[in-house]
Structure 1
Amino acid sequence: MSNFIKHIFQPGSDHREETPALQIISRDEHSISRSQISDAALKVLYRLHNAGYEALLVGGGVRDTLLGMSPKDFDVATDATPEQVNKLFRNSRLIGRRFKLVHVVFGREVIEVATFRAPPTDEHSDKIAATGDQGMILRDNVYGNREEDAMRRDFTINALYYNIADFSLYAYAGGWHDLKQRQLRLIGDPETRYREDPVRMLRAIRFLGKLNGFTLAPDTAAPIPMLAPLLEQIPSARMFDECLKLFLAGKACETLELLRNYQLFGHIFPGTEQCLRDDDQACELALNTMRNTDKRIQAGKSVTPYFFLASLLWPQVARVAREFESAGMAPHPALQKAADRVLAQQIRHTAIPKRFSIPMREIWELQLRLPKIQSRKARELLTHPRFRAAYDFLLLREQSGEDLGGVGKWWTRLQEDEGVPEAPRRSKSYTDEEQRPPRKRRRRPSSSQNNNQRRG
């Protein structure tokens, strides 16, 4: 047993001194069947196995299958190097610098293949393994064996390996015990592991929200509020991806509550957190956003990240816009300047791609136009490409207690085309223009054609 593993199983560390480093669960003792594994994952596993390499399903795919859930992704661990894996599969590509992996692509399905990792030593150069001043892992490409790889994983319930060779299950660090006890526990010293990768704090919250009935082990939970500021060191692009995983998994309500309880939310959405503390209406808007998001996901409907983000940032945008208006600025320029400021502040924490920030701005801008139902151009908004999202957002604001004078009902009735309230006659709309046949333009003869006509 390596020194790293001995450290993890030192006496007095909860139940771990009674738990073997490796527990092998035979095929007839666990519930995983090959019929539950995707064909693409099986192809990868068998090709690696037939080529003489170790091939094991690992992590969330194993965990969720054992819990009776349907995994979306299947990850594979092997003793083959990334370059060796890449040679075996023509439909693969090497990715990553901080953590080199291979993606094997089968249409829309991607199987991620990782080589067993080992703890770095002083002999490894910074090009292979590097750690920041506060312990964050900057590069991790030291390869090892299955035992070392298991100890490098974050939570014990993710240190579960399904072996395609004999269909047995390998459980490390008490993972089988914790899975049955429905307990989420970090492998090793929690503070050290969080410093290595602060995103593990967000993963803990995501698993708590996702896995029904699971609790966070006290030693795993304790350091989170103190270490929460470390999230601000994570690249904003990675934080954006983590946010989508957190809130678009069908458990957004529980996730928001957990993030706030563990003092993490303010390091992801600092402006929104301040609004939630100061304004009950902002809290209601956030909760309704989460509830509606969960309902859509549970109903199998799609959720657009830009609508979700527009809702989370709106209280801050509205507050800053009011400040600009108080200084004498007109409503539209005030809103635009507020949007600029809020987005500039937010992207320091989570990146927001332009494909999302542009429609977010359009939804916010339409909140000023939708209330103007007496305008001659009001009905033309029905053809605006972002009308439906802006209308839904308007209803969300009303649902959250904002008094908008019944504007939402007006637009609802207008769309239903029943009892449409009195408003100015409809002026020329985009729809009218589209339905009108295009007017044929007479082509003017060129000067040479005019000269020929004259000569004729």
Structure 2
Amino acid sequence: MSQNGHCPDIPPSPVPVIIPATDHPIKVHDIDGEALKVLYRLRDAGFAGYLVGGGVRDLYLGQRPKDFDISTNARPGQLRKLFRNSRTIGRRFRLVQVFFRGGKIIEVSTLRSRSEYDINDIDKVLPSNNTFGTLPEDAFRRDLTINSLFYEIEHNTIIDYVGGVKDLDQGIIRIVGEPDRRVTRDPVRIMRVVRHAARNGFRIEEQSWQAIIRHRHKLDLCPPSRIRDELLRDLRSGKSEPWTRTVLKSRIFTTILPFYAEILDGARGRQRQQELLALTRVLDRLHGQSSDDYRIEIPDYMLFTTLLVPWAEERFDLLQQRLHGPAHHTLSREIRAELDSLFSERFNIKRLDKEAMTTLLVNLPIFESHQQKETWPKWLRGKSYFADCSRFARLFVEAAGGPAVDAGLFAAQPRQLRHEAADFSGKDSGHGRRAKGRRGGQPAFSNRGKGVFGFRNG
């Protein structure tokens, strides 16, 4: 930080490039109606309001934004008076959520002078007036040039301080400011660089690429929950295959999941990499079918397990296992112990989720085998984990070159309908039964080894 408290990446007296309405593709009618209401009310009250960040980026690229975020020179208290249907959230950097019918939320933030992670004392609660800034300060504190654009409705122009429009035109992902310093201050920016490159099919600018290579190990310094949340966003993005290619090439993948380091080397390692790409390709096909009326919802534990299949094959020769009874129970314990060891602190994965991951892995061989034979024993159909394991096995079979799994099995819909879809045998799978004290569909482990596969009978 410079002595005046502002980010040293901001040049003196920055002059923006103003792109008139005739020279860019964004039209007012492309903007969400509620977002326009917020912008017009800000204008009528004498404040400046701008559509910012990903909303401008996506509209410029001809895509439909997921969110329409707004920045303004109005302070949070002024916003709360202006929008009665709102609330203030955030501890260090407050923003206002404006609520509309149907559960829609438009987030409005006051222009800032710097990012949360560019402040020296990260634990210090700053005075509320210590972070407000100007339009150029807000642009230069953002991560990427393509996310640092402002759109104003008065003249329908794009305001560009950092060359973001040129980078959009050329398909480039570029870190704002000095890449090494920005990445060092917040290593999670590494994952955001890769995400936006994968999602848009853009290339990463060379200095930005070298910075994330040099500093990828600093991801270990980040809170596990942040890495977990970023990883899950990438797996749900519909672009997880190109994301996987990039994190494998940059070795970010083995920084995030270090137990893969030795597995991915050599000829066998290339095979395992291809397996990872095939699995994420299936995730992308499934997530690509989501829409406003039809949402694909793959549970967190299943997404994590998808990344673990090549590891489990290498570590336990998983797909060659056809175990029953005590031997199957022993394998369950070994896999669970490994997961506890590997994820004791990494990602803050819940105990129940680790149990679910173990269940999916240990049962994959037998479910994959019956999937190939298209036969389902009565005892297997009645298991509480049948629906989840059969869905996961179908996902795996598609990745291995088999028939495509029905996306309807992963649709966010009433539980009963999903059971009927998952139970292709025509009989109620029993997955919907909720045992007391544990999550429905996930078996608890038994120390006595009774029941099929060493699980307690549900």
Q: TM-score, normalised by structure 1?
A: 0.73
Q: Deviations over 1:357-409 (max 9, x none)?
A: 443333234336647979xx93232244532331243345556669xxxxxxx
Residue 271 (structure 1) shift: 2.4
**Using the alignment, how far apart are the partners of 2:33 and 2:337 within structure 1?**
47
> Which residue of 200, 205, 209 maps to 2:189?
200
Tell me whether 87-96 or 234-243 shows the greater mean CA deviation: 87-96
Secondary structure of 1:112 counterpart:
strand
Q: Which amino acid aligns with 2:196?
A: F
> Which residue of 239, 242, 255 maps to 1:251?
239
Within the alignment, does 1:307 sit opposite 2:302 as a pair?
Answer: yes
Residue 165 (structure 1) shift: 3.1
Within the alignment, does 1:87 sit opposite 2:81 as a pair?
Answer: yes
**Counterparts in 2 of 1:394 and 1:281: CA distance versus 1, 3 Å:** farther
Within the alignment, does 1:283 sit opposite 2:295 as a pair?
Answer: no
**Using the alignment, how far apart are the partners of 2:84 and 2:383 within structure 1?**
45
> Which residue of 211, 215, 238 maps to 2:203?
215
Secondary structure of 2:264 counterpart:
helix
Residue 192 (structure 1) shift: 0.7
Secondary structure of 1:222 counterpart:
helix
**Using the alignment, how far apart are the partners of 2:430 and 2:199 within structure 1?**
45
Secondary structure of 1:131 counterpart:
coil
Q: Deviations over 1:310-346 (max 9, x none)?
A: 12123445655579x9xxx843133234224324523
Q: 2:377 maps to what in 1?
A: 378
**Counterparts in 2 of 1:382 and 1:67: CA distance versus 1, 3 Å:** same
Residue 170 (structure 1) shift: 0.9
Residue 43 (structure 1) shift: 2.2
**Counterparts in 2 of 1:138 and 1:114: CA distance versus 1, 3 Å:** farther
Q: 1:239 maps to what in 2?
A: 227
Q: Which amino acid aligns with 1:243?
A: L
**Using the alignment, how far apart are the partners of 1:222 and 1:118 within structure 2?**
27
**Using the alignment, how far apart are the partners of 1:119 and 1:393 within structure 2?**
44
Unaligned runs of 5+ in 2: 402-421, 434-458
Q: Is the 8 A contact 1:57 1:76 kept in 2?
A: yes
Q: Which amino acid aligns with 1:387?
A: F
**Counterparts in 2 of 1:6 and 1:397: CA distance versus 1, 3 Å:** closer
**Counterparts in 2 of 1:93 and 1:362: CA distance versus 1, 3 Å:** farther
**Counterparts in 2 of 1:85 and 1:347: CA distance versus 1, 3 Å:** farther
* 1:355-434 superposed matches below 5 A: 356-367=353-364, 370=367, 378-397=377-396
Tell me whether 286-295 or 55-64 shows the greater mean CA deviation: 286-295
Q: Is the 8 A contact 1:160 1:175 kept in 2?
A: yes
Q: 2:249 maps to what in 1?
A: 261
Percent identity at matched positions? 31
Unaligned runs of 5+ in 1: 11-18, 121-126, 403-413, 419-425, 434-456
Q: 1:270 maps to what in 2?
A: 258
Q: Which amino acid aligns with 2:111?
A: F
Q: Deviations over 1:405-436 (max 9, x none)?
A: xxxxxxxxx97669xxxxxxx9x9969x9xxx
* 1:122-271 superposed matches below 5 A: 130-131=119-120, 142-212=131-201, 214-271=202-259
Residue 308 (structure 1) shift: 1.9
Instruction: Name the count of aligned residue pairs.
Output: 389
Q: 2:69 maps to what in 1?
A: 75
**Counterparts in 2 of 1:167 and 1:367: CA distance versus 1, 3 Å:** same
Q: 2:446 maps to what in 1?
A: none
Secondary structure of 1:143 counterpart:
coil
**Counterparts in 2 of 1:417 and 1:331: CA distance versus 1, 3 Å:** closer
Q: TM-score, normalised by structure 2?
A: 0.73
Q: Is the 8 A contact 1:8 1:187 kept in 2?
A: no
Choose 1 or 2 for highest CA Rg: 1
**Counterparts in 2 of 1:358 and 1:417: CA distance versus 1, 3 Å:** closer
Alignment RMSD, CA only?
3.9
Q: 1:294 maps to what in 2?
A: 284
